[in-house]
Amino acid sequence: MQRLIRSATQEDLDTCVYIAGVFHEGSQFKDVTTYNPEDAYAHAVFSLKSENKLFLVYEVDGTVVGFFIAGRHPVVWNRQEYVSTEELFYILPEHKSPRAALKFFRLWERWCLDHGTLFMSFTPTSFVDENLDRWDSFCHAIDFQRGGVYYKKVLKNAD
């Protein structure tokens, strides 16, 4: 079995949009937001073209089975300093791999260092509750420290 993590290309976008749909269907966002493949595709194109986005894919035997997108933006109080935030990260369940996750994060860290980024932020919001201890262990193993707590308030009636 051949596994590879690489930069996304235009040819990967349809598959990434499909994978994002699978993510949405199983996530906490399913009952609050409507998944729109056209908008997901537009965001994928934007992420692919932006110099302030990192867009990686995970391939198994030549098939894309996961992706990772992070963004880089100036600090609110100093437009000369940058921080980076993970935006979307998902691997299809049948291909979940801690090694692939680790590689995504290591490549993200390298990209941040190469772009003079001061701070990386990862806020897992879906598929975490049942795996909180594993995420804590993973994050601490790669030198991420807990930086707060995530709260949400749903304003849309999700009937």
Which residue ranges make up each domain of the chain?
3-141
Residue 127 pLDDT more than 80?
no
- Assess whether pLDDT exceeds 80 at residue 68: yes
C-beta separation of 120 from 109 below 8 A = yes
Give the pLDDT score at 83.
95
Helices 132-141 and 98-114: angle between axes, nearest 10 degrees: 40
Which range is least confidently modeled, 56-60, 100-104, 137-141?
137-141
Q: 130 falls in which pLDDT band (50, 70, 90)?
A: low
Q: Is residue 6 scored above 80 in pLDDT?
A: yes
CATH number of 3-141: 3.40.630.30
In the predicted model, is pLDDT for residue 143 greater than 80? yes
Structure tokens at 45: 């194109």
Q: If pLDDT is split at 50, 70 and 90, which confidence band does 30 have?
A: confident
Task: In whole angstroms, give the CA distance from residue 109 to residue 72.
Answer: 12
Q: Tell me the three state secondary structure of residue 128.
A: coil
- Average pLDDT over every residue of 110-137: 81
Cβ-based neighbours of 105, under 8 Å, separated by 6 or more: 122, 142
pTM of the model: 0.89
**What is d(CA 13, CA 10) in angstroms, rounded to the nearest whole number?**
6
Pick the most confident of 54-63, 89-98, 132-141, 143-152.
Answer: 54-63
Average per-residue pLDDT in the chain?
Answer: 90
pLDDT the model gives residue 129: 59
pLDDT beyond 90 at 80: yes
Task: Show the tokens assigned to 115.
Answer: 């772009």
Residues in the chain: 159
